[in-house]
Amino acid sequence: MSARAFIDNAKVMAKGQVTIPKDVREALGVASGDRISFIVEGNSVRIVNSAIYAMQVLQSEMVGEAEKAGLTSDDDVMALVKESR
Least confident of 1-5, 43-47, 61-65, 81-85: 1-5
What is the model's pLDDT at position 32?
94
pLDDT, average across residues 10-34 = 94
Strand partners, 45: 40
**What's the predicted TM-score (pTM) here?**
0.62
- Residues composing the chain: 85
CA 53, distance to chain mean position in Å, is 2
Q: Check whether 23 has a pLDDT greater than 80.
A: yes
What is the model's pLDDT at position 17?
95
What is the model's pLDDT at position 1?
61
Q: Domain coordinates of the chain in residue numbers? A: 22-84
**All residues at 6 or more sequence positions from 80 whose CB lies less than 8 Å from its CB, including other chains:** 71
Amino acid at 75: D
Question: For residue 65, how many other CB atoms are within 10 A of its CB?
Answer: 9
